[in-house]
Structure 1
């Protein structure tokens, strides 16, 4: 049996269960491809992050990174757990509003926020805006003046630290589209502009060094750099940072080769670095997204055709693919997949799992060990909760899948499956 599946996830029928619900029942009721989340696992991860801060007696905020997966139901669970959230678009903010998420617990990120988005944030009284560039400072100043408003802000800096991860997942290095560069003096110039505007309440400093990180040294260096900057700005400008936000990027276990950090490991490293400075310990904020929802998500597929190429490999094709999980094609991301009706079955062959999309690169798994499977069998891909549905598309005019939340033996449809009619509802005829 795959070691990433707990024994208590197998029921008496030998089927995989999610949130106490038989995966076969889920597929029969909601169809495939299907995205399913174990809600209790989401809650446990949020609580684990909060617990370690509380045990260290630190002021903190755990802010869920919406880009990993945003839906009304997701925001409702986050709100119930007392967590915060960060959004990066009007769409994410609108979804949080629809979920009645507390706006004072929202942070607005993004490297090219529009005037409309900033107005939306100000009018809805979001908790803070993470300023990313000089253009944004000017736009926000206009909006605040227009609405005679004030708002809390933080400056995102590029600390010059590259995480050991995929090139597209690195965001903290100097050569990045995100944040104010420290080396050139951009960050200090931005600070002076913000401090000069009485409508902007400068809360602190933010940095994010990347995603799917397994090494402690990146977080150690990031926290150290932020504290050095805070100390420097205090000496030069008398500015005392109330909040230091170290971002997220905590890796998860997709395969046996992945060895994620425990929450207490990086929190203690961050605290140690903060306490080294002659500086009042600020509130420490983190922004986990993948690590909250990734391990809680599963993609269910039905097997269709099979192609055996003597001397090469066998292809198993499923009814989903890059339209519901583009990460294998985009990042060469690896996942584990199991036969949902018998995860304990002996593994008898290695196959390539292909999607149904008209692209040679639509491969969900290059080399997956499986029992002998046939058309109609149900496969479950593990740890797909982050950046799967949120990056889903209608490529080849395929509808996006439904999303179900499972908890305490009950399942709830939280996003309907798109219909064929949904695919054309924005189309306009050229002939009239």
Structure 2
């Protein structure tokens, strides 16, 4: 039972409160149930652009970019484009002085279309096709992260100039995240292991290629990590490997990329990575490890993606159907679902949901918010909502900026929603809604 249930008159004033650190920087609510973003009515945006729709608070994105650069002076901050990428997003992070991590020729094409400086682009990914590598060498990307021995010969054969590379290491550190997003342990598909000698062999192979220049090592522990301690361990372990490889090959490394995976809050129960603590403890751990192993400190790079854009997004849905099962659950079905947000189905991810656009005076009851798709697992949230919830109600879901649109699909031939940037009292689309004509465009008719 909530305070609003005990004192119903308080419900309207409680509705003016947004959960702290879950909503975008410029989001505001009032007692009438209205929600604004950067001074623009979210209800108006839903009417203008339809639903489902993703809203992106660009001031929030810029603020996160600036916080990272201010907290980590001298550290290279590289935006992980896989979290969310379009030409508008690429231009925004370029303006804020960040680098850009891409994982395919497609993401690189978006970056190039945005005019992103090639020297600030890093090509990543555990499988790089010949097309990916050709695109990278043609564009002149700054660095390529080597993830397999096969890539070494392929890249050396394709490049027409000396290409800077890093080698991805699996440091065998479990950051305690969901199994599906844990990437720093030894028994998974990413990087080279140290214990079996494959990491040392990869270094040797790169050094034998005159067209490749080894500038450093890379590791990535996983996603949605809230503790600083795993990054400290990674810094210490990677510097130990630097020292060992440096003595063996009589080389020094210029760069150490510790990846990203910095966690954000999705619900009140979540804990975000403390950026200030990270900025204090991780560089200190790196310096101490360098002193202990008597190696010069490399330049540190980090790759936040979700931590830059995740909190900037709001997903909007319209309630289509309400099914109240006597003695059972209430299902609130919306006009989107797992095609625009597969994370709950993939990882069991949780989100809060807010009814907006009208006064809320009814008591809250537990409901299951489900999508429109032909899967029993198409569940977006298990949350309390007003018991008078009805078709036509507008729902807003915060923390929707990362790994939702970028993982969207056309399941059931449903078009992907638009993404609308909001700033300074105005809005403009970054990506338009996918139409039926778009869905049919790739059909080959005989």
Give the TM-score band, short-chain normalised: over 0.9
Of 123, 128, 133, 1:108 maps to 123
Is structure 2 residue 414 aligned with structure 1 residue 414? no
Q: Structure 1 residue 350: deviation in Å?
A: 1.3
- Tell me the distance in 1 between the aligned counterparts of 2:256 and 2:227: 20
Q: Structure 1 residue 167: deviation in Å?
A: 0.4
Is structure 2 residue 111 aligned with structure 1 residue 89? no
1:243-302 Cα shifts (integer Å, max 9, x gaps): 110000111000111111221211222111111122222111000011111100111001
- Tell me the distance in 1 between the aligned counterparts of 2:198 and 2:123: 21
Counterpart of 2:400? 384
Counterpart of 1:225? 237
Is structure 2 residue 201 aligned with structure 1 residue 199? no
1:199-253 Cα shifts (integer Å, max 9, x gaps): 1111101000110011222111111111111111222222211111000011100
Is the 8 Å Cα contact of residues 204 and 242 (structure 1) preserved in structure 2?
yes
Counterpart of 2:10? none
Shifted more, 177-186 versus 366-375: the winner is 366-375
Counterpart of 2:304? 288
Q: Structure 1 residue 345: deviation in Å?
A: 6.0
Is structure 2 residue 63 aligned with structure 1 residue 47? no
SS in 2 for 1:305: strand
Counterpart of 1:398? 414
Q: Structure 1 residue 372: deviation in Å?
A: 2.9
Q: Structure 1 residue 369: deviation in Å?
A: 3.9
Q: Structure 1 residue 19: deviation in Å?
A: 2.5
- Tell me the distance in 2 between the aligned counterparts of 1:345 and 1:104: 55
Is structure 2 residue 82 aligned with structure 1 residue 67? yes
Is structure 2 residue 42 aligned with structure 1 residue 31? no
Counterpart of 1:267? 279
Is structure 2 residue 147 aligned with structure 1 residue 132? yes
Is the 8 Å Cα contact of residues 204 and 244 (structure 1) preserved in structure 2?
yes
Is the 8 Å Cα contact of residues 2 and 343 (structure 1) preserved in structure 2?
no
Cα pair distance change 1:152/1:370, threshold 3 Å: farther
Cα pair distance change 1:212/1:344, threshold 3 Å: farther
- Tell me the distance in 2 between the aligned counterparts of 1:8 and 1:399: 27
Shifted more, 226-235 versus 341-350: the winner is 341-350
- Tell me the distance in 2 between the aligned counterparts of 1:209 and 1:286: 12
- Tell me the distance in 1 between the aligned counterparts of 2:286 and 2:94: 28
Is the 8 Å Cα contact of residues 90 and 116 (structure 2) preserved in structure 1?
yes
- Tell me the distance in 2 between the aligned counterparts of 1:82 and 1:370: 44
Shifted more, 390-399 versus 277-286: the winner is 277-286
Cα pair distance change 1:182/1:347, threshold 3 Å: farther
Is structure 2 residue 18 aligned with structure 1 residue 18? no
Is the 8 Å Cα contact of residues 315 and 352 (structure 1) preserved in structure 2?
yes
Gapped regions of structure 2 (runs ≥ 5): 1-16
Gapped regions of structure 1 (runs ≥ 5): none
Counterpart of 2:381? 365
Is structure 2 residue 240 aligned with structure 1 residue 249? no
- Tell me the distance in 1 between the aligned counterparts of 2:70 and 2:362: 39
TM-score (norm 2): 0.92
Is the 8 Å Cα contact of residues 2 and 344 (structure 1) preserved in structure 2?
no
Cα pair distance change 1:343/1:75, threshold 3 Å: farther
Q: Structure 1 residue 304: deviation in Å?
A: 1.1
Cα pair distance change 1:222/1:347, threshold 3 Å: farther
Cα pair distance change 1:204/1:74, threshold 3 Å: same
- Tell me the distance in 2 between the aligned counterparts of 1:288 and 1:240: 26
Q: Structure 1 residue 2: deviation in Å?
A: 4.0
Is the 8 Å Cα contact of residues 63 and 84 (structure 1) preserved in structure 2?
yes
Number of aligned residue pairs: 423
- Tell me the distance in 2 between the aligned counterparts of 1:421 and 1:157: 44
Is structure 2 residue 330 aligned with structure 1 residue 314? yes
Counterpart of 2:441? 425
